[in-house]
Amino acid sequence: MQKEAEFTRISATADIKVQRHGARAKCLQRLIRLEMPVPDTIALPFDTVRRLAAGDRIDSGALLQTFDGAPLLSVRPSAEVTDWGGPGTILNIGLTVDRVEALAEIIGEHAADELFLRFILSYAVEVARLDAEAFADDATAQAALATYECETDEAFPNDPATQLSDVLRSMARAWEGTSARLLRQAKGAPADAGLGLLVQRMVIGAGRGECGFGMIQFVDSQTGAPGITGHYVSNGQSRAALSEDGEVLFLQRDPQGPSLEDRCPDQFAALCALGARTRTSLREEMQIEFKLQDGALCILDAMRAPRSSRAQVRIAVDLAQDAVITKDEALLRIHPSALSELLHPQVAPDHKRSMIAHGIAASPGGATGRIVFSAAAAQALAAQGGDCILVRHETSSEDVRGMNAARGVLTERGGITSHAAVIARGLGVPCVVGAASELQIKPREKLLRTRSGQTFREGDVITLDGTAGVVLEGAARLVEPGQDEAFLTLMVWAEAVTDIGIRANADTPADAKTASRFNAGGIGLCRTEHMFFEHDRLTVMREMIFADSAEDRQAALDRLLPMQRADFLELFRTMKGLPVCIRLLDPPLHEFLPQGRAGVRELADAMDLPLSEVSARVKGLAEFNPMLGMRGVRLGITIPEIYDMQARAIFEATAQAARQGIVTAPEIMIPLVSAKREVELVKARIAAAAAQVRVQTGVEFDYELGVIVETPRAALRAGEIADHVAFLSFGTNDLTQMVYGLSRDDAGRFMSTYVQQGVYLEDPFLRMDTEGVGELLILGAERGRAARSDLILSICGEHGGNADSIAFCRKAGFNYVSCSPFRVPEARLAAAQLAISDRRSARRTSSSDEAKNVP
């Protein structure tokens, strides 16, 4: 194999590769190809830099001699991906006592001394690893040289080759340092990521004609809107120029002060022209680093303009609309998770964070408010127009209204599919759960204590960052969400290429409105129990649960019927004929039981029963393991009147909608099935309810029956279940719980230890376990489709919005995924990217097949 060159001069034709020399080297080559005035640059490939880090030396004298006229040099890092970082650039290498004198002849004594001083300081800190503080009082190069000698017992190297060699070695070593490695790995770099180094002829940027350093970009980094931003420092030399002595100028003409445009109109126009050329040729919005040397323009570097998530979308859409890139490329350029930042306010990235605890990032977004420890306090504060963060051990049905009133929710216990997490995501409220190892809540004392011993009381202000899963002290600056034109356009493009349905999990009319705002293809899961969490309904629901005679139960159900009917009608109206999949009552009844004495007393009042009797009934209904107890279809079989009422409400709403011109065929889903007989029993009663409503209303309507596959047995027996239903939707929350034998409400306690120790690669409630749970999905899908080829398959657990589970479901031939309404855009973009990538690889395969057939 041919030995790789130790270094290569970057020219239009040189063999420069991103994977060998880094992105910055490749970008400079592209700029050279565009005939931009880039200073002479030598690229050291990853291999050379690795050898330097290991202690080898390169012939820096020979390297120096490749530059004409022994110029001063800079060394810049060039990682494969710019975001992976790298050591800071070092400027003015080659300055020695003799050369400073020569330089003073050209640029003046003061400027030459300044440059030397800065070089000595950066060399001392970056190469000799001295403390910057030691040089704090040094105002001249002479003083800094003395300090250097005193600190190191050696004279400052007065030889350009030694300086260059030491700089290269120290930058190579800095890349191998532990914190640099961890930092880049956190940004997705592989463990063996390489670093290239660029040795570039310095443009002094200081002198008698107009000299200076500037950065310019042609979009706003926050919004992505076109507009010139950046700065120019006359007599400045580097990015740090703003903090130096130079005169800071606006780039564009500005009434508030002098500008580059005024002072150097030709150079400014040339920069704008270069910006336009980089945009079309590099197909990206770039930030350009430039210098003026006696009025001549030099381009030192260009990199992808930094951008917020919102700007990222705007830039990609604008580039596609200007035909610089295709729509497919625009879709591929945006990471799906970046969209969630556009839907929720976020803690400003530059906000100085004082973290008090971290937990599980259960629902994205940032929220600031006063601590409250009860749902009632949250509602009371919200009623006065106050912002609050509801802090609970965990949440239950009684907290839902308080959660709705709060800006954010923090719980001590729970995991990614706990009650608090699921409800918060549905409501779009930022939420952090499972913070027990870092904080303790004492609701009675209205006190929150952190592991470090800090205490917070009701009324104290905290901030939740639900995107990162952290709790911050005090108020934080929030960045408002930005669903602008560009976002909407991107969503339309995504929808056009997506080949798997994206529905929303929407429980209430308000959720359905959100789902419809994000163009969900329908509702994939309406958890009807969430319709009962309104206070007046909760009491009736409890009366129904506690009824000890058939008449009392029916009386309560008769009161619930019109409420449910009105909700369903509203859902049908909002979704305008799109599919709506309604799940019959599912949760363990304990979720409806009153918590604490006050709740029991309230119920006793409502039912006009003695407190002791209601207490006894609450106790009587308690289960050892409610998640595996009287819930789901087991309720429907033992108390069939509940499902009868729900079926009737659904059908009556269907008939009413039809009269209003909205034709809908509701999908009714049976929860927690594990045996086909359960389906047979419920199916017969639902058919009877449909027949009755058709007769009573005189309206013909269709409906579909399906099962949410949440138990391993339902997946295994999907074949015989599919004989009775039109669809199966995999409820991967419960399925994960049951496949692992892992409580979704308690796993938060040990999940981080499990993930840290590599027992699980990731929390399986967050990221679908494609091996175990996934195998059951495939098995269930195959067995179901073998029994009924037109069986509709979907997933409606929290995994529904994740890119990797969408990829899994697409591959397995599922019809749609369903996720919380706020995740619909993210899911749609992920699905679009999968479709585009598949199409591209199919095209590649067919063109290589064609090539093979060429005679």
Residues that bind ligand PEP (CB under 6 A): 417, 422, 525, 527, 586, 710, 731-734, 796-797
Residue 641 and residue 680: Cα distance in Å, rounded?
16
- Residues in contact with Mg ion, counted by CB under 5 A, come to a total of 3
Q: Which residue's CB is nearer to ligand PEP, number 527 or number 783?
A: 527
Phi, psi of 350 (to 5 degrees): -95, 10
Q: Which residue's CB is nearer to ligand PEP, number 86 or number 800?
A: 800
Q: Dmax of the chain from CA atoms?
A: 105
Q: Which residue's CB is nearer to Mg ion, number 301 or number 529?
A: 529
**Nearest distance, CB of residue 575 and ligand PEP, angstroms:** 19
What one-character-per-residue DSSP string does 733-794 give? HHHHHHHHT--TTTTHHHHHHHHHTTSSSS-TTTS--TTHHHHHHHHHHHHHHHH-TT-EEE
Among residue numbers 365 through 384, which ones bind Mg ion (CB under 5 A)?
none
Chain position carrying tokens 């107890």: 629
Q: Of 388, 369, 362, whose CA–CA distance to 470 is shortest? A: 362
**Nearest distance, CB of residue 507 and Mg ion, angstroms:** 13
Phi, psi of 524 (to 5 degrees): -95, -15
Q: Which residue's CB is nearer to Mg ion, number 285 or number 734?
A: 734
x-or-dash string of contact with Mg ion, 731-760, rule CB under 5 A: x--x--------------------------
Q: Partners of 358 in the beta sheet?
A: 470
Q: Which residue's CB is nearer to ligand PEP, number 21 or number 527?
A: 527
Residue 191 and residue 182: Cα distance in Å, rounded?
9
Select from ligand PEP, Mg ion, none the partner in contact with residue 147, using the beta carbon and a kind-dependent cut-off of 5 to 8 Å. Answer: none
710 binds Mg ion per the rule CB under 5 A? yes
Which residue in the shown chain puts its C-beta closest to ligand PEP? 731
- Among candidate residues 419, 590, 724, 799, the one labeled active-site is 419
Active site residue 796: yes
Residue 704 and residue 724: Cα distance in Å, rounded?
10
Residue 58 and residue 306: Cα distance in Å, rounded?
34
Q: Where are the beta strands (DSSP E) in 235-382?
A: 247-249, 286-293, 296-304, 346-347, 355-358, 360-363, 366-372
Beta-sheet pairing, 286-293 with 296-304: antiparallel
Q: Which residue's CB is nearer to Mg ion, number 423 or number 655?
A: 423
Residue 463 and residue 355: Cα distance in Å, rounded?
9
587 neighbors 635 (Cβ within 8 angstroms): no
Residue 520 and residue 65: Cα distance in Å, rounded?
64
Which residue in the shown chain puts its C-beta closest to Mg ion? 734
Select from ligand PEP, Mg ion, none the partner in contact with residue 467, using the beta carbon and a kind-dependent cut-off of 5 to 8 Å. Answer: none
Taken as a whole, the chain contains a residue count of 855
Q: What is the dihedral of CA 646, 647, 648, 651, to 10 degrees?
A: 120
632 binds Mg ion per the rule CB under 5 A? no
Q: What is the dihedral of CA 672, 675, 678, 681, to 10 degrees?
A: 160
669 neighbors 706 (Cβ within 8 angstroms): yes
Q: Measured between alpha carbons, how far is residue 767 from residues 332, 511, 732, 733, 757 in Å?
A: 21, 24, 10, 11, 17
**Nearest distance, CB of residue 306 and ligand PEP, angstroms:** 39
Q: Which residue's CB is nearer to Mg ion, number 212 or number 426?
A: 426
How far from the centroid of its chain's Cα atoms is residue 668's Cα? 33
301 binds Mg ion per the rule CB under 5 A? no
Active site residue 272: no
Q: Which residue's CB is nearer to ligand PEP, number 797 or number 825?
A: 797
Q: Which residue's CB is nearer to ligand PEP, number 200 or number 732?
A: 732
- Among candidate residues 27, 211, 264, 796, the one labeled active-site is 796
The enclosing H or E element of 185 equals: helix 178-186
**Nearest distance, CB of residue 254 and ligand PEP, angstroms:** 56
Scored b (16 or more CB within 10 A) or e, 438-447 reads: bbbbebeebb
Q: Which region, judged by CB under 5 A, interacts with Mg ion, from 204-212, 327-335, 391-399, 704-712?
A: 704-712
Q: Which tokens hold the place of 502?
A: 């994206």
**Nearest distance, CB of residue 707 and ligand PEP, angstroms:** 12
Q: Which residue's CB is nearer to ligand PEP, number 194 or number 797?
A: 797
**Nearest distance, CB of residue 525 and ligand PEP, angstroms:** 6
For the four alpha carbons of 740, 743, 748 and 750, in that order, the dihedral sign comes to negative
Chain position carrying tokens 């009319």: 509
Select from ligand PEP, Mg ion, none the partner in contact with residue 797, using the beta carbon and a kind-dependent cut-off of 5 to 8 Å. Answer: ligand PEP
Contacts of 6 (CB under 8 A, 6+ apart): 44, 48, 58, 59
**Nearest distance, CB of residue 741 and Mg ion, angstroms:** 15
Residue 325 and residue 854: Cα distance in Å, rounded?
31
**Nearest distance, CB of residue 354 and Mg ion, angstroms:** 38
Q: Which residue's CB is nearer to Mg ion, number 234 or number 417?
A: 417
Chain position carrying tokens 């090539």: 851
Scored b (16 or more CB within 10 A) or e, 757-791 reads: eeebeebbbbbbbbeebbebbeebbebbbebbeeb
Q: Which tokens hold the place of 76?
A: 């810049």
**Nearest distance, CB of residue 422 and ligand PEP, angstroms:** 6
Beta-sheet pairing, 41-44 with 727-730: unpaired
**Nearest distance, CB of residue 399 and ligand PEP, angstroms:** 16
Contacts of 695 (CB under 8 A, 6+ apart): none
% helix / strand / coil in the chain, to the nearest 5? Answer: 50, 20, 35
**Nearest distance, CB of residue 770 and Mg ion, angstroms:** 19
**Nearest distance, CB of residue 566 and ligand PEP, angstroms:** 22
Select from ligand PEP, Mg ion, none the partner in contact with residue 241, using the beta carbon and a kind-dependent cut-off of 5 to 8 Å. Answer: none
Q: Which residue's CB is nearer to ligand PEP, number 582 or number 693?
A: 582
Select from Mg ion, ligand PEP, none the partner in contact with residue 122, using the beta carbon and a kind-dependent cut-off of 5 to 8 Å. Answer: none
413 neighbors 745 (Cβ within 8 angstroms): yes
Select from Mg ion, ligand PEP, none the partner in contact with residue 649, using the beta carbon and a kind-dependent cut-off of 5 to 8 Å. Answer: none
Site residues, Mg ion (CB under 5 A): 710, 731, 734
Positions marked active-site: 419, 796
